[in-house]
Amino acid sequence: MIYTLTCNPSLDYIMKVHDFSPTAVNRTADANLIAGGKGINVAVMLSHFDVPVTALGFVAGFTGDEIMRQLRQWGCTEDFIRVEDGLSRINVKVKSDAEFEINGAGPRLNATDVDRLFAQLDTLTADDYLVVSGSIPAGLPVTLYSDILSRLTPRGVRCIVDATGSLLNETLPHRPLLVKPNHHELEELLDRPLPDIAHLLDGAKELQQRGARHVLISRAGDGALLLTDDGRAYTASAPHGIVRNSVGAGDSMVAGFLAGLRNDGDIESAFRLAVAAGSASAFDDWLAPKDAVCRLLTQIEISTVAL
């Protein structure tokens, strides 16, 4: 079974605004309030591929109720922990000439909440994958993800990490199966510009030296780079299309990679499916359906990169 963990889920308030001005009263041309957060998006996308998945995490307040309502409506299996205080966050995503986002902080959690989570995670076995992704709410230690991996990887649970900064970095010694920073997140983590493929590849190697197994670097409209745990490197072009909503493109990519790995374990096809899933979601108003992903598969060019 694949499990996803979203410690800080959200209602994504996705607004289309014509000619946005930061100093005027703007009005929406279209708006949707959709349950999100990285792990939830990965779970929804995996279910689009008919891959069995259970979404885990924390929810709070009436926003948490709505997140749960939407997950149930989409037929997603979930086992979220309800916390008593605070509200699950609302993340604002404005789509105008440019896209910009304001992500909230989320409810304050405590050690008891973490104990409840660990009790759930302790039931996972070597047959399972766990995707840990996104930011964590206030009150949780920056070592949360590394604490989870140090508990689960010795038991053979394959962990995938999509997080930023120290939250990601601390997990690396625990040998995550896959990490997926985007280009900018990797630059931030390594504290240097990575202007081209050669520099990105060096960055990916550095994450491997720190312990990561497969390193997948997403590059938005420029496609992606993959460094595999057996030392092969590939780049992929992204298909051309009209971007409607790139929120969730990275999560779709993680889901596509995992769905591909579960198909036949072939890394190159998993990489192709990952890029197709990311791009299909960027070209959709929401997370793309399977047929939209499959239509893009042949448009992606994969090239090997010499190490």
One character per residue 11-30, x = contact with ligand FBP (rule: CB under 6 A): -x------------------
Applying CB under 6 A, what is the total number of residues that bind ligand ADP? 17
Q: Is 185 in the site for ligand FBP (CB under 6 A)?
A: no
Q: How far is CA 205 from CA 170, 228, 303, in A?
A: 16, 10, 18
User: How far apart are alpha carbons 218 and 93 in whole angstroms?
Assistant: 20
Nearer to ligand FBP, 138 or 198 (CB): 138
Q: Is 103 in the site for ligand FBP (CB under 6 A)?
A: yes
Q: Is 246 in the site for ligand ADP (CB under 6 A)?
A: yes
Q: Is 224 in the site for ligand FBP (CB under 6 A)?
A: no
Q: Is 249 in the site for ligand FBP (CB under 6 A)?
A: yes
User: How far apart are alpha carbons 238 and 219 in whole angstroms?
Assistant: 9
Q: Is 279 in the site for ligand ADP (CB under 6 A)?
A: yes
Cβ 100 to ligand FBP, closest distance in Å?
Answer: 12
Catalytic: which of 147, 251, 266, 284?
Answer: 251
Of 119-148, which residues contact ligand FBP (CB under 6 A)? 134-135
Count other C-beta atoms under 10 Å from residue 25's C-beta. Answer: 5
Nearer to ligand ADP, 260 or 278 (CB): 278
DSSP the chain: -EEEEESS-EEEEEEE-TT--TTS----SEEEEEEE-HHHHHHHHHHHTT--EEEEEEEEHHHHHHHHHHHHHTT-EE-PEEESSS--EEEEEEESSSEEEE--------HHHHHHHHHHHTT--TT-EEEEES---TTS-TTHHHHHHHHHGGGT-EEEEE--HHHHHTTGGG--SEE--BHHHHHHHHTS---SHHHHHHHHHHHHHTT-SEEEEE-GGG-EEEE-TTS-EEEEPPPP---S--TTHHHHHHHHHHHHHHHH--HHHHHHHHHHHHHHHHTSSSSPPHHHHHHHGGG--EEEE--
Cβ 195 to ligand FBP, closest distance in Å?
Answer: 22
Nearer to ligand FBP, 122 or 222 (CB): 222
Q: Which of 3, 37, 95, 276 is the binder for ligand FBP (CB under 6 A)?
A: 37
Q: Is 10 in the site for ligand FBP (CB under 6 A)?
A: yes
251 is catalytic: yes
One character per residue 87-116, x = contact with ligand ADP (rule: CB under 6 A): ------------------------------
One character per residue 204-233, x = contact with ligand ADP (rule: CB under 6 A): --------------xxxx-xx---------
Nearer to ligand FBP, 43 or 227 (CB): 43
Q: Which of 182, 228, 235, 245 is the binder for ligand ADP (CB under 6 A)?
A: 182
User: Under the rule (CB under 6 A), what is the footprint of ligand ADP?
Assistant: 182, 218-221, 223-224, 238, 243, 246, 249-250, 253, 275, 278-279, 282
